[in-house]
Amino acid sequence: MKILITGATGLIGTELVALLLQNGVTIHYLTTSKKKIESQPNYHGFYWNPNQGIIDENALMGVDSIIHLAGATISKRWTSKYKQEIIESRILSSNVLFKALKDHPNSVKQIVSASAVGIYPDNLTKLYTEDETGVDESFLGKVVMKWEESVNKFKLLNIKVVKIRTGLVLSEKGGALPEMVKPIKMGIGSPFGSGKQIQSWIHIHDLVEMYFFAVKNELDGVYNAVAPNPVTNKKLTQEIASVLNKPLFMPNIPQFLMKLVLGEMHVILFSSQNVSCKKIESEGFSFKYKQLEKALKQLLV
């Protein structure tokens, strides 16, 4: 099996590459950074520049599925210029892939694209399944909607389209968890706002297994990538402190303060999405990390 990955050099991509190589998959990857191009027996890098419509079409040779993870990080101050980059890095990259597939003979049968649970409207109680049609009114909701639309068009090429609506990815190597750990280790951690917002998390091990599962089982459609037991922000903060054996005594951090510090991006910390993983489980996928405590102990202890 040969898989082409975009964003292979990022947090999720690196973990996914390791899993696929262990399982005998040959990997082609597209990178925007020439210095990240490597060529090993089962791991070949190719250059692309979605902003300029550039792609090395050799990347498509013999590929069965594409896993599309590329996108500028959302964890950087949302200036109007950077917001444009967040959107364009996802949409232009989908467009470049689409054009390459349309214009060149290929054997690609499926594209599995990253997406995010931030598409679901901010709500403290509603349980979201993949059937939800509402879209959050925030910038992030709009980004995810446009991102999903940009991958839907691969259906026109008779390619199966899978969208992996990902929750808060827990990894010790990057993303949100190390940022949450820092203040708690210093004894100044506390929940955000009311702390009641629901965080639908997933251990990175389960997330990359889910990508592999989607390819092996030739899935088609939208799947939520969240563990079976979402928690409130308060519970998440408390569990991290408990696993690290640290006390929590500071008052909750008010929303206006985080807005001053982070600007519009602060919504990431306060928005609430209680998301169901029943659909992927009904396909036969089983999570290794169902409970937060087990996930955090594996990552932090």
Ligand X SMILES: NC(=O)c1ccc[n+]([C@@H]2O[C@H](COP(=O)([O-])OP(=O)(O)OC[C@H]3O[C@@H](n4cnc5c(N)ncnc54)[C@H](OP(=O)(O)O)[C@@H]3O)[C@@H](O)[C@H]2O)c1
Q: Provide the binding-site residues for ligand X, judged by CB under 6 A.
A: 7, 9-13, 31-33, 36, 50, 69-74, 85, 89, 93, 114, 116, 166, 168-169, 175
Nearer to ligand X among residue 33 and residue 58 (C-beta): 33
Q: What is the DSSP pairing of strand 65-68 with strand 231-232? A: unpaired
Which residues lie below 8 Å from residue 172, measured CB to CB, with a gap of 6+? Answer: 178, 299, 300
Q: Closest residue to ligand X, Cβ-based?
A: 10
Nearer to ligand X among residue 32 and residue 271 (C-beta): 32
Closest separation in Å from C-beta 128 to ligand X: 14
Nearer to ligand X among residue 101 and residue 202 (C-beta): 202
Nearer to ligand X among residue 75 and residue 107 (C-beta): 75
The residue with tokens 């040779």 is: 61
The answer to whether 119 touches 74, Cβ cutoff 8 Å, is no
Backbone angles phi, psi at 90, to 5 degrees: -85, -45
> Residue 255 and residue 196: Cα distance in Å, rounded?
13
Closest separation in Å from C-beta 106 to ligand X: 21
Question: Could you say which DSSP state residue 121 is in?
Answer: P
Q: Give the tokens for residue 295.
A: 């996930």
Closest separation in Å from C-beta 271 to ligand X: 13
Question: Could you say which DSSP state residue 253 is in?
Answer: B
Closest separation in Å from C-beta 112 to ligand X: 11
Closest separation in Å from C-beta 256 to ligand X: 25
Q: Give the tokens for residue 64.
A: 């069965």
Nearer to ligand X among residue 63 and residue 177 (C-beta): 177
